[in-house]
Structure 1
Amino acid sequence: MESTGLHWLARAASDPEAFRLQWERTGFGLALLPAGRRWDVLSVPGRLGRPALDILASGLCGPVLADGGDEHIGFLVPVGTAARWIGTGVRCAGEGTWIAVPHPSRRNRGLRWLVPPDGSGRLNDPVMLELALHEAVARLTEE
């Protein structure tokens, strides 16, 4: 299978090829995929998520989602992270949950990729994300 963001996302579906073909054929911008199969998602308030992404962007970071108003920023992290994450105001999506994801190569006015999946399988490192969130909080308190 070709290694693109679309193919990588489709691998989370129970039938990746059928899912990918349907997504391409229907032209819908959004799809529901199960979290906890290939990745978990940590969703943080935008006022922390945006600065944390800026901090992470100085290195390599994995896929990151944002809602239409940047109210929430979702970081795709390794499976199991959601079950172990402790943090006020952080919504965790892991095994047994579903998330909406935008098509990686189509523009969407609402939910969109700030850092789209590139097909490599790279995810956000939870330790680096936690450090970036701490730094974002520190910056906010200084302002």
Structure 2
Amino acid sequence: MGDLEIRAAVAADVPAIVGMLADDPLGAQRESPDDLGPYLAALERLSADPNQNLVVAVRGGRVVGTLQLTIVPGLSRRGATRSIIEGVRVHADERGSGLGTRLIEWAIDTSRHHGCHLVQLTSDNTRTDAHRFYERLGFTASHVGFKLHL
């Protein structure tokens, strides 16, 4: 893990990020690696927002992991700031190497740096391996999530 760098994503990273997002049955249904336009526009919006952190993990010049960390100022919980981790992906060649743990540790450390009192994430019901991974890192399945597609 010594040669690993976690840094802000740039436009040149988008093909690798989208490739990882699409590299499973769920992602294959909702991602479009052949049309990077929407992803590049999203990266511009994310990069302009100081509460958004889209990062990549790079080893040997190759993007091997990614996640998005959002800092959310709030009024509840006595005005607590929280963070939300989303879009965690590790390249298939790197799974089981500890890279996912390093990415989540980065997100937790960054959340602490921003004064967050809570780190939260969601994971699709079908991702049971991911659920075990997050539980090993100290996360608890404490809520039921709801979505409304618009």
Query: After TM superposition, is the score higher than 0.5?
Result: no
Give the structure with the larger strand fraction: 2
Give the structure with the larger helix fraction: 2
TM-score w.r.t. the length of structure 1 is 0.29
Higher relative contact order (CA 8 A, sep 6+): 1
